């Protein structure tokens, strides 16, 4: 059995048997990996802290035939704030699940790791959670090769004014090209501007971005539709997010 060291963020946990836990890590150097943390649900387990959801840690793993085993783990950053606050937890769960569903195992991307880390940090630092989600979604799409075209019509290349957003075609459609996708979503120019700004903004800027309520809702509608079109199955964390909104 080969031993390897990696650093990563826990994006999913599942209980196994009485005291074990299977965790999914998004690691900096290996992409998504899964490992079993034996006994980690016992109160005195050395693995308990570092195998909690959202934790960023260093892991020493044995690669097994079907499943890797976590032999040692230490916390780099607990991100406890994301577990102790229901609103932050709902938003972090969405980010973690979306990343988990969007990538195949062991396809490393340092940029995706950085995106995950910066998104969790922004939530932890009380940046507006809705903005963090929209920022994460757009950057995730860019990194996966689905950067939406927001300047020109994807049909004819003209500078698109009075355009609609086509989820299927991946960008704006001018009125003349609308027959390519009659389901394209009507969006206001201000919403498109916000999408452009979110794609350019570093995470540190998310605290000062304040789209209007209309634009926030439109950003969510477009972002969610764009993501859903490319996902194999619906996200479970959406129900959690919706229930949080009912509380607010
Ligand atoms: Zn056109």
Over residues 160-210, the pLDDT tens digits come to 678 899 999 999 999 999 999 999 999 999 999 999 999 999 999 999 999
Cα 183 to ligand 1 centre (Å): 15
C-alpha 59/C-alpha 158 separation (Å) is 51
Over the chain, what is the mean pLDDT?
A: 94
Measure CA 135 to chain center.
9
DSSP secondary structure letter of residue 159: B
226: CA distance to ligand 1 center in Å?
20
Give the confidence band of 248 by pLDDT, cuts at 50, 70, 90.
low
On whether residue 53 sits in a domain, the answer given is yes
Ligand 1 centre and the CA of 224: distance in Å? 24
pLDDT at 1: 66
Do 113 and 74 have their domain in common? no
Ligand 1 midpoint to CA 167 (Å): 15
Distance 175 CA to ligand 1 centre (A): 7
Work out the number of other CB atoms within 10 angstroms of the CB of residue 61: 26
pTM (predicted TM-score)? 0.95
Distance CA 222, CA 166 (A): 9
Give the domain extent around 28.
Answer: 2-78
Q: How many domains does the chain have?
A: 2
Residues 29 and 140 in one domain: no
105-147-93 Cα angle (round to 5): 50
Q: What is the pLDDT of residue 232?
A: 84
Query: Residue 246's pLDDT band (boundaries 50, 70, 90)?
Result: confident
Q: Residue 223 domain-assigned?
A: yes
In whole angstroms, what is the distance from residue 94 CA to residue 92 CA? 5
Instruction: Note whether 116 and 224 are same-domain residues.
Output: yes
- Ligand 1 mean position, distance from CA 176 (Å): 5
Residues 225 and 139 in one domain: yes
Spacing, Cα 195 to ligand 1 middle (Å): 20
Report if residue 90 sits inside a domain. no
Are residues 37 and 113 both part of a single domain? no
pLDDT at 111 over 90: yes
In percent, the amount of the chain with pLDDT more than 70 equals 99
Q: Are residues 229 and 113 in the same domain?
A: yes
Determine the pLDDT at residue 61.
96
Does 161 fall in a domain?
no
Task: Indicate if 120 and 229 belong to the same structural domain.
Answer: yes
pLDDT digits (tens, 9 = 90+) for 48-95: 999 999 999 999 999 988 889 999 999 999 999 999 999 999 999 999
Cα radius of gyration (the chain): 20
Q: Which contiguous run of DSSP H or E holds residue 35?
A: strand 31-37
Which CATH number covers residue 11?
Answer: 2.40.50.140
> In terms of domains, do 126 and 196 share one?
yes
Q: Is residue 65 part of a domain?
A: yes
Cα(179) to centroid(ligand 1), Å: 10
In the reported structure, the alpha carbon of residue 189 is separated from the centroid of ligand 1 by a whole-number distance in angstroms of 16
Phi, psi of 5 (to 5 degrees): -110, 140
For residue 123, the CA-to-ligand 1 centroid distance in Å is 38
Does 73 lie in the same domain as 21? yes
């Amino acid at each position: 059995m080969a031993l390897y060291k990696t650093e990563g963020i826990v994006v999913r946990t599942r209980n196994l048997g009485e005291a074990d836990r299977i965790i999914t890590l998004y690691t900096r150097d290996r992409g998504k990996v899964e490992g079993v943390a034996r006994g980690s649900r016992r109160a005195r387990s050395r693995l308990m802290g570092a195998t909690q959801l959202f934790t960023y840690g260093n892991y020493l793993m044995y690669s097994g035939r079907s499943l890797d085993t976590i032999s040692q783990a230490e916390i780099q950053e607990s991100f406890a704030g994301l577990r102790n606050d229901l609103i932050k937890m709902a938003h972090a769960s969405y980010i973690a699940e979306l990343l988990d569903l969007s990538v195949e195992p062991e396809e490393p991307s340092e940029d995706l790791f950085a995106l995950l880390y910066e998104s969790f940090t922004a939530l932890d630092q009380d940046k507006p959670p809705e903005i963090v989600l929209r920022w994460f979604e757009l950057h995730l799409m860019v990194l996966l090769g689905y950067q939406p075209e927001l300047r020109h019509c994807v049909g004819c290349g003209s500078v698109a004014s009075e355009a609609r957003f086509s989820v299927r075609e991946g960008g704006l459609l001018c009125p003349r090209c609308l027959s390519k996708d009659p389901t394209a979503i009507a969006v206001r120019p201000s919403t498109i501007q916000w999408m452009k700004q979110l794609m350019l903004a570093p995470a540190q800027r998310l605290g000062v971005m304040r789209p209007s309520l209309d634009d926030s809702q439109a950003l969510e509608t477009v972002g969610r539709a764009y993501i859903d079109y490319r996902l194999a199955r619906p996200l479970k964390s959406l129900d959690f997010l919706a229930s949080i909104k009912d509380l607010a």
